[in-house]
Amino acid sequence: MSKCVCVIAEYRGGNFRRVTHEVASEGRRIADALGVPLQAVAVGSGVAEKAAELGRYGVEKVFVADDPALEGYIAETHTPIVADLVQKCDPAVVIMPASVDGKDLGARLSARLLAGLVQDSTEIVVENGKIKAKKPIYAGKCYCWNEWADGEMPLISCRPNVMGCLAPDESKSAQVDKVEVTLPEARSSVKSLELDTSGRVGLSGAETIVSGGRGLKEAGNFSLLEDLAQVLDAAVGASRAAVDSGWRPHADQVGQTGKVVNPNLYIAVGISGAIQHLAGMGSSKYIVAVNKDADAPIFTKADYGIVEDLFQFMPVFVEELKKYKSSCS
């Protein structure tokens, strides 16, 4: 019989990622609605030392696999170990991050656990003791609600930055159950060597994103966005047109065939607002657009619009922000 809600934690660079706190908080809410305990699964190198911290977000017990070989996500190594730990939890429902790694892991777990997967969910509810999960479809033009047949286990990945975090209760800690695992034999030559963030803020969990499009005209002009990003401690993103032009790497692309982001503030500079771009950023809390064409579709989504030549506007905007910041400090 199913006994708990299980959340899958994402651990990187010695810490749980913010999205782990979000799924734990959502897990707590669901567990309370179902009247069952909340447990977690955490896999990584050095994760055992930190696992009790998940108690601050309502997790009661954490099953941990800790091994230096688990530094960095490798699908073939992580999938069987996470699946084993999830089975130890014997969950009624599994909730996990819809991060880049989480989406990959989710699909693999779904096959292994024979669980129905809803990826990139933005809302989960419990109705009459049954789970329902909402997710965007058709590039964000509509939403659909999903439910599971009796006896089927829901596996839900949650879009980062959508589900709110509980205020951490520092007095609470989770019970940690360290499980000895046998690492699967390497079936590929992939090894995770090093995590190089080069001091840049990552797009997926960023609170603020400054994105540029074809209007920037050439790669070098992205320095205008990097200046702004530095002032705002933001990540830099790009439209597909900018990526296809070779101005930015594909990892920076926001949209239907890039990353789905959900920051508090998204500043779109020289981006028209094609539906495929909106699919990746349309749920941002505040959208600011800078575009010289007052009829650009991005303005239909924007909370604040600046109809201006970006080459005139951006340097002045950055200078004024710098002055404002130094007057505050």
* Binder of ligand FAD out of 18, 108, 134, 214 (CB under 6 A): 214
In angstroms, the CA 199 to CA 148 distance is 42
Per CB under 6 A, 256 contacts ligand FAD:
yes
Q: Which is nearer to ligand FAD, 287 or 310 (CB)?
A: 310
In angstroms, the CA 109 to CA 155 distance is 8
Q: Which is nearer to ligand FAD, 311 or 321 (CB)?
A: 311
Per CB under 6 A, 276 contacts ligand FAD:
yes
Per residue, the 3-state secondary structure of 131-169, as one string, reads EEEEEEECCCCEEEEEECCCCCCEEEEECCCCCCCCCCC
Q: Which is nearer to ligand FAD, 23 or 279 (CB)?
A: 279
* Binder of ligand FAD out of 234, 242, 261, 318 (CB under 6 A): 242
In angstroms, the CA 133 to CA 129 distance is 13
In angstroms, the CA 77 to CA 71 distance is 10
Give least dist CB 157 to ligand FAD, A.
19
In angstroms, the CA 97 to CA 51 distance is 17
* Binder of ligand FAD out of 135, 277, 302, 305 (CB under 6 A): 277
Q: Structure tokens of 87?
A: 């089975």
Residue with tokens 């094609």: 274
* Binder of ligand FAD out of 102, 258, 263, 305 (CB under 6 A): 258
In angstroms, the CA 60 to CA 69 distance is 26
In angstroms, the CA 114 to CA 110 distance is 5
Nearest Cα residue to 131 out of 116, 110, 143: 116
In angstroms, the CA 278 to CA 273 distance is 6
Q: Which is nearer to ligand FAD, 4 or 254 (CB)?
A: 254
Give least dist CB 280 to ligand FAD, A.
6
Per CB under 6 A, 272 contacts ligand FAD:
yes
* Binder of ligand FAD out of 39, 119, 253, 283 (CB under 6 A): 253
Per CB under 6 A, 140 contacts ligand FAD:
no
In angstroms, the CA 154 to CA 2 distance is 11
Per CB under 6 A, 136 contacts ligand FAD:
no
Per CB under 6 A, 119 contacts ligand FAD:
no
Size of the site for ligand FAD (CB under 6 A): 28
Task: Output DSSP code: residue 90.
Answer: -
Q: Which is nearer to ligand FAD, 47 or 274 (CB)?
A: 274
Per CB under 6 A, 287 contacts ligand FAD:
no
* Binder of ligand FAD out of 208, 291, 305, 317 (CB under 6 A): 291
Q: Please give the residue ranges that form the binding site for ligand FAD (CB under 6 A).
A: 213-215, 239-242, 253-258, 270-272, 274, 276-277, 280, 290-293, 296, 309-311
